[in-house]
Chains A and B, each alone.
Chain A
Amino acid sequence: MGIMEKYQITSAVIGILLGGSIFWLARRDHLHGRFAVWWLVTGFVCAALGIFPQFVDWVAAGLGISYPPILALVLGIGLLVLKIIIMDIERSKNEIKLQRLTQRLAILEGELLDQNKYLPD
């Protein structure tokens, strides 16, 4: 077995493990909706690139990149940064919703206090 084949087996195992784990999480409802879509695509790409790592070499050669693995790394890190930014935007939106809901609850509980119907914790 040549060096290239060994490398290909290693990358295929890593890619399939990563893609398979994501698929398993989606099937178990740990990831759902649009989150599942993002991660299933990511899992599929990881598995595909793991099985056919030459694809990165072809694209890198086409783009004139002399060290192909760096292309996969830069794209991977770029997508991760994008994902984290989207997560923080989502978190900010959720925080606003939670704060406004808490405020609304306080206003309603204030009315219950007026009517002596307030239930303390």
Chain B
Amino acid sequence: MDTSKTLIIIPVYNEAFAIPYVLNELAELSDIEVLVIDDASTDNSLAVCLSRGVKVLPLKLRLGAWSAIQTGLRYAQKHGYDCVVTMDGDGQHHSCEVPKLLKAANSNPSADVVIGECIERGSRLRHVAWRFFRKITGVGIEDITSGFRLYRKRAISLLAGNEATILDYQDIGILLMLRAAGMNIIETRVAMTPRINGKSHLFSSWHKVAYYMMISTVLSFCKYGKFTIRD
């Protein structure tokens, strides 16, 4: 398996409890570098990561998960990485699934993005939301919100740019942007488990869910039909 110049990016916000498990698991993948982006955590996530000896980029202002990931993509671009794998810092994604993404990328040399897909996860309501967004965006991706992804150089370069900074989340807006740029996106099955600390930062309140739905719906309508995949 070719893992040269691959970087694993983990955005972290108040994950002092979960991140040691994630980093312990990742220690098994000794040939891949790990980069943690601390999104101005108010707990001791930064100290925990530093004590594990991983490379950390400390954000001074809380920018949100996508912007933290983009920080990592800019770092990867600066240091010439060929491949970036993004993982959540809450223990949902597992290091043993990383080789599946790499394998899918290796067997599809034209793929710019590989999405680790696990549509079984999530509540019934979340599935309704996914179906709604799949329908109105037409991006042709099953798991539109998966944060377990592999980006190749072309995608890294696109997503590290100014245009991607304005986006709020890693899901729909990013997929639409990748499609608009003609990127080849594939999906591969992976296993995911519930978060170690049990709660999502993104959907921690009804207010945040409503905000997410509103922003994503407006974004989808603005781009409607522009990148639809037609059989």
Which residues of B, 67-116, contact A by the 8 Å Cβ criterion?
67, 70-71, 74-75, 78
The one of B50, B61, B78, B166 in contact with A102, judged by C-beta atoms closer than 8 angstroms, is B61
| A-B CB pair tally, cutoff 8 Å | 49
Residue of B nearest to A96 (CB): B165
Q: Assess whether B63 is in contact with A113, with CB atoms less than 8 Å apart.
A: no
Binary per-residue interface labels of chain A (87-114) against chain B in the complex, 1 for a CB within 8 Å, 0 otherwise: 0000010011011101111110110011
CA distance A54 to B56 in the complex (A): 67
Residues of A contacting B55 with CB < 8 Å? 110, 113-114
**Contact: A107 with B61, CB < 8 Å?**
no
The residue that A103 contacts in the complex, of B50, B56, B74, B166, with Cβ under 8 A, is B74
Interface assignment of B162: CB less than 8 Å from any CB of chain A: yes
B37 contacts the other chain (CB 8 A): yes
Asked if B59 is at the interface (CB within 8 A of a chain A CB), the reply is: yes
Interface residues on A, range: 10 to 19
Which A residues touch B59, using CB under 8 A?
Answer: 102-103, 105-106
User: What's the nearest-Cβ distance from chain A to residue B123, in Å?
Assistant: 31
Within 8 Å by CB of A96, from B71, B78, B166, lies B166
On whether the beta carbons of B63 and A102 are closer than 8 Å, the reply is yes
For residue A103, give the distance in angstroms from its CB to the closest CB of chain B.
4
Collect the chain A residues with CB atoms within 8 Å of residue B50's CB. 113
| Interface flag for B141 (CB, 8 Å) | no
* Most B-side CB within 10 Å, residue of A103, A105, A118: A103
Instruction: Check B118 for interface membership: any CB of A closer than 8 A.
Output: no
Q: A96-B165, A96-B166 are in contact. Are A106 and B67 (CB under 8 A)?
A: no
Q: Give which listed residue, A95, A96, A105, A114, contacts B60 with CB less than 8 A.
A: A105
B140 within 8 A of A: no
4 pairs of A and B residues whose beta carbons are closest in the complex:
A110-B57, A103-B71, A106-B57, A106-B59
